[in-house]
Amino acid sequence: MKIENSIQGVRAALNQARKAGKSIAFVPTMGNLHSGHIALVLNAKRRADFVVSSVFVNPTQFGVNEDFASYPRTLDSDANLLAEAGCDILFAPNAEEMYPDGRQQATTVQVAGITEFLCGASRPGHFTGVATVVTKLLNIIQPDMALFGEKDYQQLAVIRRLVTELCIPTNIIAIPTHRADDGLALSSRNGYLSSDERAKAPLIYQTLTQLQSAILSGQRDYASLAHAASSHLNKCGFQTDYVEIRAANLDSATESDSDLVILVAAYLGKTRLIDNLAFSLA
Ligand code: AMP
């Protein structure tokens, strides 16, 4: 596996693959890779001739009081895991390479509407940071396809929207959430949890599955269900940011919607965890 730190370097390596007629799949990450990330790479390997992954802790998607400084950076072990998974190129730029004029680019990508609630409401500017860096990465790599995790459900919706509306010729592929045996969604932020917190964390997924069962058994008062679930999590030591039941396209859910998603964001101590469960009533 080649490791490229510069835009010029990764473009040159990709031109060779393209000239050889290879299809290119791209898996962007912030590193500290776990088996959820690697599942994306393995899936990319099955779909394309050539796989590029990136590791870049993007400063512009972190708020001022968030964990940018402490976010785990483990590039050497990430590179080993990617090489083992059969990744062809790791693109690992530094912040200067991606933002030569500093964080405050004159040009940003803002996706209106779907960024204005859920994580967008509690993390102002987050999705503009995500949309901008993903657009830059897609322009640098110009892949045929890019793979993203359903774990970041709203992020995936934002990326689908920007790719469609900005006419970016990349196919966006969603990969199901990888979980620990006890149901906790794998996340680089799980490493922040104390052992007590880690023992409690699976309650988020249990809450999602309980809500799903209640809905599947006919309950339709989504606001009350979500409110009760949020109170329960808070009684158990979480501080919920939101628990919401929405239509799969993230519009408010109505009784006529049959494709639904339940989304949770909750703090456990200082760690903010997110998870979701999408399902169909049909
Ligand atoms: P991150 O490094 O957290 O920015 O994640 C990079 C990519 O991996 C994103 O597309 C995430 O949605 C995806 N991802 C993160 N955790 C998981 C997981 N547990 N299962 C599947 N995909 C994941």
For the chain, the domains span 2-175, 188-275
pLDDT category, 104, cuts 50, 70, 90? Answer: confident
Least confident of 89-93, 194-198, 278-282: 278-282
What value does the mean pLDDT take over residues 56-80? 97
Q: Is the beta carbon of 152 within 6 A of some atom in ligand 1?
A: yes
Q: Is the beta carbon of 276 within 6 A of some atom in ligand 1?
A: no
Testing ligand 1's pocket by substitution, the residue of 40, 52, 73 carrying the most ligand atoms inside 8 A of its CB is 40
Q: Put the strands of the sheet holding 271-280 in their side by side order.
A: 239-247, 259-268, 271-280
pLDDT value for 282: 79
Shortest CA distance to 103 belongs to which of 65, 57, 139, 138?
57
User: How far apart are the two ends of the chain, measured CA to CA in Å?
Assistant: 45
**How much of the chain exceeds pLDDT 90, in percent?**
98
37 is catalytic: yes
Helices (H) and strands (E) in the chain, counts: 10, 9
CATH number for the domain whose boundaries are 188-275: 3.30.1300.10
Name the CATH architecture for the domain at 2-175: 3-Layer(aba) Sandwich (3.40)
pTM: 0.97
**Gap from CA of 23 to ligand 1 centroid (Å):** 22
Distance CA 268, CA 202 (A): 11
Exposure of 58 in the CB half-sphere (CA atoms within 13 A): 21
What value does the mean pLDDT take over residues 259-278? 98
At residue 203, does pLDDT exceed 80? yes
**How much of the chain exceeds pLDDT 70, in percent?**
100
pLDDT category, 5, cuts 50, 70, 90? Answer: very high
What value does the mean pLDDT take over residues 268-273? 97
Shortest CA distance to 9 belongs to which of 88, 89, 79?
89
pLDDT value for 234: 98
Ligand 1 atom closest to the CA of 188, numbered from 1: 3
**Gap from CA of 259 to ligand 1 centroid (Å):** 23
Q: State the DSSP code for 113.
A: S
pLDDT in tens, 119-150: 999 999 999 999 999 999 999 999 999 999 99
At residue 103, does pLDDT exceed 80? no
Q: Taking a C-beta distance cutoff of 8 angstroms, is the pair 166, 159 a contact?
A: no
Distance CA 172, CA 144 (A): 9
User: Which residue matches tokens 């001022």?
Assistant: 64
Testing ligand 1's pocket by substitution, the residue of 29, 54, 277 carrying the most ligand atoms inside 8 A of its CB is 29
What value does the mean pLDDT take over residues 224-247? 98
